[in-house]
Structure 1
Amino acid sequence: MSTFENEDTLARVPLPALEDTCARFLEWSAPLLNQEELADAEAAVREFGRPDGPGPKLHADLVRYDADPATHSWLDAFWPARYLGRRDRIALNANFFFLFREAPLHGFAEPQVERAAGLIAAAVNYKAQLDDERIPPIATRGNPLSMAQHKFLFSTTRIPGPVQDTVRAPYSDEWQGPSTARHIVVFQRGNAYQMNVIGPDGRPYSLDDLAAGLREVRKAGAARAATDTAVGHLTTMARAEWAAARDRLAALDPGNAASLDTIETALFCVCLEDLTPADDLAAGDQLLHGDSGNRWFDKAVSLIVFADGTAGINVEHCELDGTTILSFVDALLGASPEEHAAQSGAAAQGVPAIEPVTFVLDDALRADVDAAARSFAQYGADTATVTLPFDEFGVDEVKRLRMSPDAFAQMAYQLAHKRAKGFTGATYESIATRQYRRGRTEAMRVVTPEVQRFVSTFDDPAASPEQRRAAFRAAADKHVERAKQCQAGAAPEQHLWQLQLIQKWRGDALGVPEAPRLYETPGWLTMRDDYLSTSSAPSANISYFGFGATSSRCIGIAYVLLPDRFNLFLSTPRPVADMMYTFADRLREALRELRDLLDEQ
């Protein structure tokens, strides 16, 4: 089957009934509220959902939108509002990374060049297969998944806007079909270079040619760019500020617009780093928020390669979710560079063309670049991170104990959080919904009454092992049930969030001029104010997955569940770092204790 053959036949994302969403909202938020707050939420829901209330009017408009033949999903407008509408910086706050598994580079005189050339060859091969729609559509348990996100892997760049960003990409009205670009942009010490990776006749360059081109880049970029000239720093700014700076940059000199075009149309970026990471944590930090002068955080895909050949990827999130990037990375690392080059028909063509990508800057723009660099360096320093490699057991052992590995991990997080902080806090988990047309993710809220009983029972000295086990399994079963609700499109948060957006966009015309009180209640605000923000990436081809925390008190948990181990990357603002370190210690204990409890049966 061709890559995109299933897209028009996939089921549409189900639009829940308003009364079902309201009931689930109360059910999902109730464990986090006291009696007074719950009563207030219940009253607000009654106001919202009454026949002449705002809810039915807003929902009716959404029903009309969903019924439009031009609409792929009732979430079509939601995703741009959520991702492209955010006005803070996306670097560290929204972009995510994967640290690739180690590659056998011993014996190579130039491990960085060899690894980078191999990754480029693999990515170009993947693009060739995608262009011809030869990437097999992915299926889970026999059910096909949407491949629409794959259209944003190459030559895709987020463009800052004063109110909402846009996306420049192929497969669009302006640029129909695959990207025709033949170049990538390589960053070296804050200098940027255009490098062709596909020859004039459409054949990819050979591995030796790519390596020669990278050597030329390293030679040309041997002198580190002055901080106030490395324009990549600007991509770390808050979006409206970056939009204004980009406009001034493009207007200052015709060459600047051409340089922006070169970067934005490039197939992807490759960032060569001088340093050799001391460990996985150092590598993760660099992948998440490394030298911003050596990045273009608006680029959909940036492959980052360190001096010793350690490598990973930084991803702009607006059109790409982790599951899509996982399948891309699995393909890149699933065969040798030589195999990828042979599959793509790569041929020796000489050293690829290398051109510097430069910008003319005035004093004001240089000051902006310098300020952005200093601000982001401080922002990165103010983010605390830790890796938690747990190699005592993994997915295989949890399955042997007859439990969902994800539920096991999530219950461990809840127990560790209760022990570290003394309470159960709002927890987000991303649930993939790509079985639907243009499906992306659903927001799952992990805390349930069963979770609360579990964490309370587990540390009750009067509770027997049987009681602890029963509470643990009940909470895990509820977790699996709720995850299935999300996968079935029966979750409340995004539905209510979209109705809130409709009120902002068209409330006056729909007879809902004021924001409904529901969105000001502790029920809505508390349910979405995360203490833990979690997402998983199951693949043996990555060592770690990571992202930044989502609030001033949140711990971000990116977890890789592998057959024999769990690898977690935690992040949080530095002022609350001690609590994250305590949480990590309690989590190690919780994983062991939960496994031992189940093994006693």
Structure 2
Amino acid sequence: MAEAHQAVAFQFTVGPDGIDLQLSHEALRQIYLSGLHSWKKRFIRFKNGVMTGVYPGSPAGFTFVVVSYMSYNRYYQLDPSRGILTKLGEYLPISQYMSSDSQKIVGGVLVGTGLWVSIIMVMRNVLKCLLSWHGWMSQRHGSVPYTTHLWMLLVRIFSGRKPMLYSFQNSLPRLPVPSVKDTCRRYLESVRPLMEDEQFERMKGLAKDFEKNLGPRLQWYLKLKSWWASNYVSDWWEEYIYLRGRSPIMVNSNYYAMDFLYVFPTSIQAARAGNAIHAIMLYRRKLDRAQIKPIYLLANKVPLCSAQWERMFNTTRTPGVETGKWRAHGCSSCPQTPYLMLLHTIPMCSAQYERMFNTSRVPGVDTDTLMHVNESKHIVVYHKGRYYKVGMFYDGRLLLPREIEQQMERILADTSEPLPGEEKLAALTAGDRTPWAKARKSYFSRGKNKQSLDIIEKAAFFVTLDDTEQRYDANNPVKSLDVYAKCLLHGKCYDRWFDKSFNLIVFKNGSMGLNAEHSWADAPIIGHLWEHVLSMDPVKLGYTQDGHCNGEPHQNMPGPQRLQWDIPSSSLTVARNLASDVDCHIIPFSTFGKGLIKKCRTSPDAFIQIALQLAHYKDKGKFCLTYEASMTRLFREGRTETVRSCTMETCAFVRSMIRDETREERLKLLKVAADKHQKMYQLAMTGKGIDRHLFCLYVVSKYLGEDSAFLKEVLSEPWRLSTSQTPLQQVELFDLIKHPEYASSGGGFGPVADDGYGVSYIILGENLINFHISSKHSSPETDSHRFGGHIKQAMMDILDLFQLEKKEK
């Protein structure tokens, strides 16, 4: 759609009078501004790299150390170089080039710089040692020890004053390798409720044999890797769990995030896309400039009595305010504010943010790869079977929301037909990976196909202007949300580029959502971006009264560029079969939320996880191996660990709810189960989980050509209940007390096992919990709607045990 003459900077013709150059001053101006923008970006990256590399040092600190050192030596009439230049002068004719005063200045600067670097290294290593201690997680029921007070103070001191996003990367500890003995013991403990006595004794024998024979040998190699690599798990996890998978990533790997549940800022598709794209690009700019604050742990798993934190910082006590040093968060011991959140104290790894933009998964015959480019100035938009390249910069600046809306309007107004095979091209990214890899090599390695594919893969992100309408309908809440979720998870199977780091989907009626590829990062990373977009869109950017973006269209801006293709057949059949098999169900559970759960003196996450176990038992009449995702970003390049939520203690409580037990006995078992779950979560967060360790031991065994019956059986066990909590990370962006309508719907993912359930949940404010449930229609054992009914009933049954109404009376 772009004008042909705008594609070149100059034209020339050859005539009798010579060569006549016809320069396009506008094109040359844009080239100049584009180059200027690129150099500014390079300079900012260089500066941020330097600042991050010397953190917790700073230029001001360098000046202070050097000047102080020079002043000290001058006052005491000492040689600032401590004899270094004198010694060096024996071999080099320094005196010929520098006077004695110059030598003193140079020597002082050199030694002062060395002193400054030494201080930085000391502070960095002290901070790493401090962050390696996780004793604060297990302190409960009583006063906070003075050692913890001192630890917190030291962390604050050695963390520096103004950290950037990546400032703490070199100070984070490495993920520790658990002992084989502890891992085997905890594994056996986790599967005990799922096995009969004879089966358990057999597994116990396999574990004992592994622990004595092959295990120590594999462990030696793993420890060697942990000393050498930044993280002994992450690279293998990314390669073998994600990139080497040959099945479709649609449904099986990619996940989705939804729009506001109740708010519809505008019904104009192009306008909603304009604000959302602009907000995303603003986030990318902040990310490139490292202006995003470091991500700190909101430690809502830290149970400390609220009576102590009142006096800990008596000048900064701000309950419920994000800027406070401490904040209460509901729990299991104190009646009002028993859980403590350590805010702005414990940094988490930010490595996953590096590949959020300009990233695409490239298919391979045996294994995929992740392609990331440092800079991309365009996005790719899909609409009704056609692909468009849309530049995000003009006149050396980022396009404004109304200008982006203008570009979207041009795409929506285009009535041209898709090229042969173009409409369903993206189905290649939805099917099996090996056929896509072969097709890419055969048909996309040259010519216009290669050029168009490069434009997609090097785009900042992918946008779909969907021609369907999706939205929460209060008159038909169940069906509207279920269809909405399925559309975000897979769409038509050919209108999402599933290989891109994420797809922004904007529907015809102005609703929107995300579909994200999983290998480059975990859900909290894309969730951080999505929170930024939702907070910017209706409030900070806003819309005019008629629903358009604020501002004016640009009269001279070139239009989007239509991509050209010569397309082979696609993998649409495989993708459609997979998509039609997905059974999605969303429950906006508003009967009660975190507020009432806190009154029960129970961790909200433990409460929900136990309710899921009760619901699953009622649904299938049995327990199953349960996966709950936990993060390990307290360590460098950490990703996730598994919390095996189906424990002996939880099973005992569930059986008490089925049998005729007294209320007091059920409450007692519930407390034991909640405490056990909390302990398991803490172990997973602090690098003492079992599943990533077992996975890495298995990888080492394959490299060594050793077969282990124990590891083979452990790694083949299916996760029939896979769960994950979607955290609300930037609480300060959403005041759900004053504006409950800005509650997000959260996000979800497909089932991990063919006969299992996938459950994602998000706790919003005090009175809302959204559940996203998925399963497969092809399994006679599962039904997402049936399971959703059991979840709602299980939540109510557990709450009834506490008899809160009688207590209030």
* Superposition TM-score, scaled by structure 2 size: 0.67
Q: Which amino acid aligns with 1:545?
A: G
The CA deviation at 1:206 is: 1.4
Partner of 1:510: none
Matched, 1:295 2:486: no
Matched, 1:391 2:590: yes
Alignment of 1:60-139 (within 5 A): 60-68=220-228, 70-102=229-261, 105=264, 108=266, 111-139=268-296
Between the two proteins, what is the percent identity of the paired residues? 29
Determine if contact 1:96/1:546 at 8 Å carries over to the other structure.
Answer: yes
C-alpha distance in 2, partners of 1:4/1:340?
28
Q: Which amino acid aligns with 1:531?
A: R
Partner of 2:686: 488
Determine if contact 1:391/1:566 at 8 Å carries over to the other structure.
Answer: yes
- The C-alpha deviation readout for 1:141-161, integer Å capped at 9, x for no partner, is 221111111111110001111
Determine if contact 1:98/1:542 at 8 Å carries over to the other structure.
Answer: no
Q: Which amino acid aligns with 1:215?
A: E
Partner of 1:519: 711
Partner of 1:245: 439
Partner of 1:57: 217
Change in CA separation of 1:336 and 1:545 when aligned onto 2, cut-off 3 Å = closer
The CA deviation at 1:538 is: 2.9
Partner of 1:218: 412
The CA deviation at 1:214 is: 0.5
Q: Which amino acid aligns with 1:556?
A: G
Q: Which stretch of structure 1 is more off in the superposition, 561-570 or 274-283?
A: 274-283
Determine if contact 2:233/2:692 at 8 Å carries over to the other structure.
Answer: no
- The C-alpha deviation readout for 1:540-580, integer Å capped at 9, x for no partner, is 65303111101111111011112211111111110236543
Figure out how many residues of one structure are paired with residues of the other and give that number: 567
C-alpha distance in 2, partners of 1:441/1:158?
20
Between structure 1 and structure 2, the one with the greater Rg is: 2
The CA deviation at 1:73 is: 3.9
Partner of 2:36: none
Change in CA separation of 1:339 and 1:85 when aligned onto 2, cut-off 3 Å = same
Return the match for 2:719 from 530, 537, 540: 530
- The C-alpha deviation readout for 1:451-475, integer Å capped at 9, x for no partner, is 11001111212x1110111111211
Change in CA separation of 1:347 and 1:191 when aligned onto 2, cut-off 3 Å = closer
Determine if contact 1:205/1:347 at 8 Å carries over to the other structure.
Answer: no
Return the match for 2:790 from 576, 586, 594: 586
Determine if contact 1:194/1:355 at 8 Å carries over to the other structure.
Answer: yes
Change in CA separation of 1:309 and 1:518 when aligned onto 2, cut-off 3 Å = same
Matched, 1:268 2:268: no
Partner of 1:331: 532
Partner of 1:174: none
Query: Where do 5+ consecutive residues of structure 1 fail to align?
Result: 171-178, 508-512
Query: Where do 5+ consecutive residues of structure 2 fail to align?
Result: 1-162, 298-341, 472-479, 543-550, 729-733, 735-742
The CA deviation at 1:220 is: 2.4
The CA deviation at 1:352 is: 4.8
- The C-alpha deviation readout for 1:14-70, integer Å capped at 9, x for no partner, is 2111221121111112221111111111111122121xx2211111111111111x5
Q: Which stretch of structure 1 is more off in the superposition, 213-222 or 418-427?
A: 213-222
C-alpha distance in 1, partners of 2:614/2:263?
39
Change in CA separation of 1:15 and 1:200 when aligned onto 2, cut-off 3 Å = farther
Return the match for 1:379 from 570, 573, 578: 578
Q: Which amino acid aligns with 2:744?
A: I
Q: Which amino acid aligns with 2:460?
A: L
Determine if contact 1:205/1:352 at 8 Å carries over to the other structure.
Answer: no
- The C-alpha deviation readout for 1:125-183, integer Å capped at 9, x for no partner, is 0111111110111111221111111111110001111111100013xxxxxxxx32110
Determine if contact 1:227/1:293 at 8 Å carries over to the other structure.
Answer: no
Partner of 2:184: 22
C-alpha distance in 1, partners of 2:636/2:709?
33
Partner of 2:204: 42
Change in CA separation of 1:10 and 1:128 when aligned onto 2, cut-off 3 Å = same
Partner of 2:605: 406
C-alpha distance in 1, partners of 2:175/2:243?
21
Partner of 1:318: 519
The CA deviation at 1:306 is: 0.5
Q: Which amino acid aligns with 1:307?
A: K
C-alpha distance in 2, partners of 1:497/1:72?
14
Determine if contact 1:89/1:238 at 8 Å carries over to the other structure.
Answer: yes
C-alpha distance in 2, partners of 1:318/1:200?
36
Determine if contact 1:183/1:195 at 8 Å carries over to the other structure.
Answer: yes
Change in CA separation of 1:277 and 1:66 when aligned onto 2, cut-off 3 Å = same
Return the match for 1:497 from 691, 695, 708: 695
Q: Which amino acid aligns with 2:367?
A: Q
Partner of 1:442: 641
Alignment of 1:555-570 (within 5 A): 555-563=757-765, 564-570=767-773
The CA deviation at 1:292 is: 2.4
Partner of 1:232: 426
C-alpha distance in 1, partners of 2:672/2:555?
63
Matched, 1:543 2:742: no
Q: Which amino acid aligns with 1:194?
A: K
Change in CA separation of 1:127 and 1:320 when aligned onto 2, cut-off 3 Å = same
Partner of 1:419: 618
Q: Which amino acid aligns with 1:17?
A: S
Partner of 2:348: 145
Matched, 1:254 2:254: no
Change in CA separation of 1:11 and 1:243 when aligned onto 2, cut-off 3 Å = same
- The C-alpha deviation readout for 1:278-302, integer Å capped at 9, x for no partner, is 6222111100010222110000011
Q: Which amino acid aligns with 1:532?
A: L
The CA deviation at 1:224 is: 5.9
C-alpha distance in 2, partners of 1:221/1:159?
31
The CA deviation at 1:215 is: 0.9
SS at match of 1:94: coil
Q: Which amino acid aligns with 2:383?
A: Q
Matched, 1:284 2:485: yes
C-alpha distance in 2, partners of 1:258/1:499?
42
C-alpha distance in 1, partners of 2:269/2:512?
9
Matched, 1:357 2:567: no
C-alpha distance in 2, partners of 1:38/1:56?
23
SS at match of 2:398: coil
* Superposition TM-score, scaled by structure 1 size: 0.90
Partner of 2:166: 4
Change in CA separation of 1:532 and 1:207 when aligned onto 2, cut-off 3 Å = same
C-alpha distance in 2, partners of 1:436/1:101?
33
C-alpha distance in 1, partners of 2:555/2:215?
63
C-alpha distance in 2, partners of 1:349/1:156?
32
Determine if contact 2:493/2:572 at 8 Å carries over to the other structure.
Answer: yes
When the two chains are superposed, the root-mean-square deviation of aligned CA atoms in Å is 2.2
Determine if contact 1:146/1:434 at 8 Å carries over to the other structure.
Answer: yes
C-alpha distance in 1, partners of 2:516/2:624?
28
Determine if contact 2:269/2:510 at 8 Å carries over to the other structure.
Answer: yes
- The C-alpha deviation readout for 1:231-271, integer Å capped at 9, x for no partner, is 111001211121111111223x4111111110011000111
SS at match of 1:91: coil
- The C-alpha deviation readout for 1:77-121, integer Å capped at 9, x for no partner, is 232221111111001110000102158556x5x621111110100
Change in CA separation of 1:581 and 1:360 when aligned onto 2, cut-off 3 Å = same
The CA deviation at 1:374 is: 2.6
- The C-alpha deviation readout for 1:165-214, integer Å capped at 9, x for no partner, is 100013xxxxxxxx32110000101211100112252x101112101100
SS at match of 1:542: coil
SS at match of 2:291: coil
Determine if contact 1:425/1:531 at 8 Å carries over to the other structure.
Answer: yes
Q: Which stretch of structure 1 is more off in the superposition, 445-454 or 96-105?
A: 96-105
Change in CA separation of 1:103 and 1:417 when aligned onto 2, cut-off 3 Å = closer
C-alpha distance in 1, partners of 2:375/2:208?
54
